[in-house]
């Protein structure tokens, strides 16, 4: 049982990593002048891994502390939290450069949409 939980966690982390990387790549393509990564796949993959780890570890803590704002805005504050995590990754990993927090919010929305679509496709199977 512990072994299957371990494999489940690793599988979910790999899927999140790939989804975050794909979302970042799409966002960088849409906002070419605002998100730069030197057109290197390695940068997108490392940034996607950092984003997946931050979303798994730090994001739940941020959500708990900002629960009043989330409830007051009927969940719309989650968009700001997603943008914050993307912006944080760009600050922690220099090869990924995002020009402003607003662009990070838009990128977070795109990553969230990609995550939703991939999750929907995988759950239908």
The pTM (predicted TM-score) of the whole model is 0.88
Residue 125: the pLDDT is 63
DSSP one-letter string for the chain:
-HHHHHHHHHHHHHHHHHHHHHHHHHHHHHTTTTEE-TT-HHHHHHHHHHHHHHHHHHHHHHHHHTHHHHHHTTTTHHHHHHHHHHHHHHHHSTTSEES-HHHHHHHHHHHHHHHHHHHHHHHH-
Total residue length of the chain? 125
> Are 97 and 103 spatial neighbours (Cβ–Cβ below 8 Å)?
no
Structure tokens at 37: 């990564």
Given a cut of 70, the residues of the chain with pLDDT beneath it are 1-6, 125
Strands 97-98 and 35-36: antiparallel
Residue 11: the pLDDT is 85
Residue 13: the pLDDT is 87
> Are 104 and 87 spatial neighbours (Cβ–Cβ below 8 Å)?
yes
> Are 90 and 101 spatial neighbours (Cβ–Cβ below 8 Å)?
no
């Amino acid at each position: 049982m512990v072994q299957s939980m371990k494999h489940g966690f690793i599988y979910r982390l790999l899927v999140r990593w790939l989804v975050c990387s794909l979302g970042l790549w799409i966002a960088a393509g849409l906002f070419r002048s605002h998100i730069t990564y030197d057109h290197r796949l390695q940068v997108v993959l490392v940034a996607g891994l950092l984003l997946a780890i931050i979303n798994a570890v730090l994001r739940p803590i941020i959500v708990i502390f900002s629960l009043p704002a989330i409830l007051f805005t009927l969940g719309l504050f989650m968009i700001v939290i997603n943008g914050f995590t993307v912006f944080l990754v760009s600050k922690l990993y220099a090869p990924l450069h995002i020009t402003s927090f607003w662009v990070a919010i838009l990128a977070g929305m795109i990553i969230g949409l990609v995550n939703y679509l991939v999750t929907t496709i995988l759950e239908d199977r």
